[in-house]
Chain A
């Protein structure tokens, strides 16, 4: 995949600014993601990578700038009914997976997965169950469909969370440090599911510390520092010869850390 995607981008971030009070956490960012592309976002904590991801589906309201997902164009910092409607449209086109899973503890695994389609889309329950079971099967969690989330391991929870997002049939999947809350021995099963998704052609934005995953699966890697994108490159080039010394430092840190 070339540095600038050739086809029409499915995600477009332009001039994105985000302030937390006086703190300028995202500084006029631009990013385009092509359909079926996997983009990993790396950077030290506090570099703004999670905030960037959360601005794309408006869990954080951008202070200024434009977010466009699959032709739905939203300007940051606006208010009003139309703006809320646009945010809703963007959220229907994006699926999100959180670091802390955030499964609904009062619902069984299957009910977690079909909650979105039934409540938000008004989908017929039987149809939602069929779709939900198919997606649970995709992540290898069908056998636990009647369990409650607290009976599952962290890795299993995250796989269910991925199935929950997939059952909304999103155009783009957003992963916010999906393996950071997991015990080391459980990381693999989640990464494998994500790898499979990537192979199936899902467009993915992944904020991660898993350099191995980025190197193997990503089409492009975005490096962030102090609220700016300091480097975008394909993983082979990036890991072989990073242009920015901060990228070099980041890679070295994970190399010595064994990551």
Chain B
């Protein structure tokens, strides 16, 4: 083998380093351009709704600023209820999803059937219908649920059915070797699940669960339809309709949902980067 050519200047960068740097420069440039475009789009939206007359032969959309400042606190105070509903529903959904996933992996026919039946029924009907079923149809049987609980039940059942797929994938992602290693150490079925399989399955399922939670904060707006849950959407439609200022009211609600989503997404990506420590 020929000896490698000696490097005359130890400070000089290798070909690979130069290539890597060039690539990094390109990536940074792209990100900067995207950021600028975002700022432009936000400014455009701002100008569009500013109501300024630009003497171009048409005037921009004018929002009722007085209405906005009078009602922003009223609408904004619905955020708490929205988050409250979402947290209760996601908790219920996680429990149902886990049970459904275990049922789906069960070799006992009734469990398997119950799981697939539940998922099929829920996925085969609209969420909007499910909310109304709990709120309007159950009273016919003498079961009267407050709007909030009807909403939480419907959202929990609905998301549980969808999330069960995520959990099933998470449970199947834990290889047979992991179970065998646990058994070889003398673990019982329960210890193996609790200590080895579930922690790995949950880690796998947490990123999609975060997405589901963020989606749920927005689907919780459907609960407003019951008319008895004073969350963001209910408050927006209420003041919007009574003052004929639906555009302002809905823009405010949209703004709050959007900010909530941005914050939750940021939290989620932090959790994800912490979870990725250690494996995969």
Contacts and interface: CB of A to CB of B under 8 A. Distances in A.
A166 to B, nearest CB: 12
Given A102-B177, A106-B200, A106-B203, A116 B278 contact: no
Nearest to B185: A116
Interface in A152-178: 164-165, 168
Contacts of A148: 277-279
A64 B196 CA distance: 31
Interface residues of B, number: 21
Contacts of B191: 119-120
Contacts of B279: 105-106, 148-150
Contact of A98 (B181, B187, B280): B181
Contacts of A92: 186
A142 interface: no
A46 B185 CA distance: 26
A96 B278 contact: no
A150 B48 CA distance: 53
A208 interface: no
A59 B183 contact: yes
A165 B182 CA distance: 11
Given A100-B177, A115-B195, A119-B191, A105 B280 contact: yes
Interface residues of A, number: 27
B186 A168 contact: yes
A119 B186 CA distance: 9
Nearest to B279: A105
Interface string B176-205: 011011011111100100011001100100
B37 to A, nearest CB: 38
Interface in A50-85: 57, 59
A91 B278 contact: no
Contacts of A108: 278
Nearest to B275: A106
Majority-rule SS of B interface residues: helix
A105 B278 contact: yes
Contacts of A98: 177, 180-181, 184
A100 to B, nearest CB: 5
Contacts of A239: none
B277 to A, nearest CB: 8
Contacts of B185: 91, 115-116, 119-120, 164-165, 168
Q: Which of B181, B187, B277 has the most CB of A within 10 A?
A: B181
A44 interface: no
A116 to B, nearest CB: 4
B170 to A, nearest CB: 12
Interface string A84-106: 00001001101110101011111
B180 A59 contact: yes
A102 B181 CA distance: 6
B181 A104 contact: yes
Contact of A106 (B175, B184, B199): B199
Nearest to B195: A119
Interface in B181-235: 181, 183-188, 191, 195-196, 199-200, 203
Interface in A125-162: 148-150
17 contacts: A57-B184, A59-B183, A88-B186, A88-B188, A91-B185, A94-B184, A98-B181, A103-B181, A105-B279, A106-B200, A116-B187, A119-B187, A119-B195, A120-B187, A149-B279, A165-B184, A165-B185
Interface of B: 175, 177-178, 180-181, 183-188, 191, 195-196, 199-200, 203, 277-280
Interface of A: 57, 59, 88, 91-92, 94-96, 98, 100, 102-106, 108, 115-116, 119-121, 148-150, 164-165, 168
9 nearest CB pairs, A to B = A102-B181, A116-B185, A96-B184, A105-B279, A102-B177, A148-B278, A91-B186, A120-B186, A92-B186
